[in-house]
Amino acid sequence: MIPLDGSKNSIRALELGIFIARQCGATITGIYSSYQPPHSEFRGKGSVDEGQNKEIKRVMEESKYKAAKNGIVFRSKVLFGNVGYNIVKVAQNKKDPFDLIIIGSRGRGAVKRLFLGSVSNYVVQASNIPVLVVK
């Protein structure tokens, strides 16, 4: 499983995932989990969501193309809510188990990580399957 968000580090994680999948004859499931703030009656729902949906679709289509180009089957899942929690929840699903999570690191400094945390750090701490963090 590879969490994707379009960042350089998530693309590097995808490239490494494709390499590993080729060696093992595995498939890749790309997860795009997006934080969804509570809906406000005063905010126009369509304008923000439409742009976000286009970006999600673009990232997932590009990822699927890269995998297919290398002979790898790519499945995708899109989730909204707490990003780290969603990644761990999907990874630990007993009906559709995963062997490995390959996640990009954002490369935050120690001080920022102490106060803000990070998705990759959360996944490493909360997951009960192996996690490979790519910088």
Domain ranges of the chain: 2-134
- Burial category of 130 from C-beta neighbours within 10 Å (exposed 0-12, middle 13-18, buried 19 and up): exposed
Structure tokens at 59: 């990232």
Residue 48 reports pLDDT greater than 90 = no
| For range 51-57, the mean pLDDT | 89
How confident is residue 41, by pLDDT bands cut at 50, 70 and 90? low
Instruction: State pTM to two decimals.
Output: 0.84
- Average pLDDT score over the chain: 85
CATH class of domain segment(s) 2-134: alpha beta
| For range 64-83, the mean pLDDT | 95
- Burial category of 24 from C-beta neighbours within 10 Å (exposed 0-12, middle 13-18, buried 19 and up): exposed
pLDDT of residue 37: 64
104 C-beta neighbours (distance < 10 Å), count = 23
Residue 47 reports pLDDT greater than 60 = no
Maximum separation of any 2 CA atoms in the chain, in Å? 51
pLDDT of residue 51: 81
